[in-house]
Amino acid sequence: MFGDYSLADLSSIFVMQGFAGLILFSVYVLMALGLAIIFGQMGVINMAHGEFMILGAYVTYLCSSFFQAHLPSLFGAYFFIAMALAFLASGAMGMLVEWALIRHLYKRPLDTLLATWGLSLILQQAYRTIFGPREVGVELPSWMMGSIPVTDSIEVQINGLFVIAVTTVITLGVALLIYRSRFGAQIRAVMSNRPMAGAVGIDTEKVDRYTFGLGCGIAGIAGSAFTMIGSTGPTSGQLYIVDTFLIVVFGGAASLLGTIASAFSISQTQSTLEFFLSGSMAKVLTLLAVVAILMLRPQGLFTLKVRR
Amino acid sequence: MLQTSLSPSSLVPPVVPGTAPMLAISDLHAAYGQSEVLHGIDLDVAPGEIVAVMGRNGMGKSTLMKTLMGIVPTKSGTITVDGTDVTALKSHARVAKGLAYVPQGRMIFSTMTVQENIETGLTVTGSRKVPQDLYTMFPVLLEMKGRRGGNLSGGQQQQLAIARALASNPKVLLLDEPTEGIQPSIIREMGRTLKKIRDERGLSIVVSEQVLSFAMDVADRVLVIENGSIVHESLRADIDEAQVARFLSV
């Protein structure tokens, strides 16, 4: 499959596809972070995570239309506001869902799977009713369009760089929150032993609610980033949820570093293979590789070395 | 003051007569689902008193501890800590009212460092720094404060679990089988530590035990629980060791 390309072409292709993979990686990381936090904290597999992401994407779309229509002078800065709003909207809805639905099902993990899947269907229909079945795209401010030429054959897109920067900041922020803050210590205590966390004085229900909100809020930001690589429709979240599950399992649950490493390897493999093969063949090969590795290492890529 | 099914002669006055009990349990029933495990426990613990609850496996010692902590739901009866009824409260709110718990098997947060483990106990106090006197009491924890809790030895984990419980400034400390899986030399050390904690902080301690020598060493009063009821009770001074030992033999 490499035969038709010269060596210089090939290296350019790898760099460009690698860069495209990085954008995909960013969306995956943000999605998987939220999913992994929620799964690690309360053992809930949130099937509606993709819809929380799409909520963030729709919020970004609404922001872009609003600024275009009413505040064109500030259009250049709208994306930052859109991301903050996407985080708040998805986070608030996450907390509402936790309060109304999830907290009643903590002792029934299979039921949460069904309930969140039902929720995802409800949300998809709600989006279809509110925003229409057609996919919408956002208008990017002019400074985010275009690309920077690095060499004759390699160009990097500015919006890609922006998404990567945002992802880096948020991942670092989440890592600081979880490993350095008091709230993070409470999250880890509840993850490690829920009844005991209550018995040392941690309000586990409050921690659950905020954690669910945080995970969904990060998905909202992922949705904001997603608007730059795809158009937003009611069912767009479905395309990402499976890959995100794969990343969480592959990375080893409860390991932030593992999640990042697995998102990186999966997105890079996919993006590079997609150039040479068809999209579905790329997916098949990626999945086969993941299955093979998980058979050899069922605990995922990274695990903590500690007595349990 | 004590309501038990025993004859009046075996009833025991609290250590400090005339003071209100720090922990008062009355007619406590608890059940796992449909099967009732505690059938009406009555117990008053005076301030500064150490009470040992003895009994064989499966007699309800751990269930009593878990019910006091709100981990196993109370079916009926009341639990009062320093005059405040905590029966309807969740675990974390009971900690805020002055209960602290060192569970069986210690239940250290294994992936968190020693220091972080102690800090989780600070949650209800609002303070951020581990009080120095905890490290003075358990110097080994200061040495190991950056290590993961799960990588400590059994005895070290026990000290960590006690330090974590003390971090919330409790009025009543509950210990569930603290000697389980610990070497004999460390058990003696732990008895000294518990008495020191009581003397320095004036808190009441309820400890569940199977090892009679340890109970005789630390407790002011010994109770025997069998099939979810208290069947024997005596002060350490006039305890009939042979009789208690009979309750504990299988």
Is residue A183 within 8 Å of residue A116, measured between CB atoms? Answer: no
The distance of A198 to chain B (nearest Cα, Å) reads 5
The phi, psi pair for B17, rounded to 5°, reads -65, 145
**Closest residue, chain A, to B152 (C-alpha):** A307
- Calculate what percentage of chain B has a pLDDT beyond 70: 92
pLDDT at A106 over 50: yes
- Which candidate in B123, B147, B176 is best for mutational testing of the A interface (most A CBs within 10 A)? B123
Model confidence at A308, pLDDT cuts 50, 70, 90, reads very low
Model confidence at A177, pLDDT cuts 50, 70, 90, reads very high
Over residues B108-135, mean pLDDT: 91
- Cβ contact, residue pair B151, A186, below 8 Å: no
ipTM score assigned to the predicted complex:
0.84
Out of A186, A188, A195, closest to residue B71 by CB: A195
3-state secondary structure chain A: CCCCCCHHHHHHHHHHHHHHHHHHHHHHHHHHHHHHHHHHHHCCCCCCHHHHHHHHHHHHHHHHHHHHHHCHHHHHHHHHHHHHHHHHHHHHHHHHHHHHCHHHHCCCHHHHHHHHHHHHHHHHHHHHHHHCCCCECCCCCHHHCCEEECCCCCEEEHHHHHHHHHHHHHHHHHHHHHHHCHHHHHHHHHHHCHHHHHHCCCCHHHHHHHHHHHHHHHHHHHHHHHCCCCCECCCHHHHHHHHHHHHHHHHCCCCHHHHHHHHHHHHHHHHHHHHHCCHHHHHHHHHHHHHHHHHHCCCCCCCCCCCC
- Which candidate in A180, A182, A196 is best for mutational testing of the B interface (most B CBs within 10 A)? A196
Please state, in angstroms and rounded to a whole number, the distance separating the CA atoms of residues A267 and A264.
5
- Cβ contact, residue pair B116, A308, below 8 Å: no
pLDDT at B241 over 50: yes
pLDDT at B9 over 50: no
Residues 6+ positions from A278 with CB-CB distance below 8 Å: none
Single pTM value for the model: 0.83
Find how far residue B47's CA is from the centre of its chain: 14
Chain B interface residues (partner A, CB cutoff 8 A): 69-71, 90-93, 95-96, 100-101, 103, 107, 109-112, 116, 119-121, 123-124, 128, 148, 150-151, 164-165, 168
Res B27: pLDDT: 93
Contacts of B71 in chain A (CB under 8 A): 195, 198-199
Tell the burial category of A231 from Cβ atoms under 10 Å away from its Cβ (0-12, 13-18, 19+): middle
- Cβ contact, residue pair B69, A199, below 8 Å: yes
Model confidence at B146, pLDDT cuts 50, 70, 90, reads very high
Looking at per-residue pLDDT, the higher value among B156 and A74 belongs to: B156
User: Taking Cα atoms as reference points, which of A240, A250, A254 lies closest to residue A291?
Assistant: A250
Instruction: Kindly report, residue by residue over A260-296, the tens digit of the pLDDT.
Output: 888 888 888 888 888 788 778 888 888 888 888 888 8
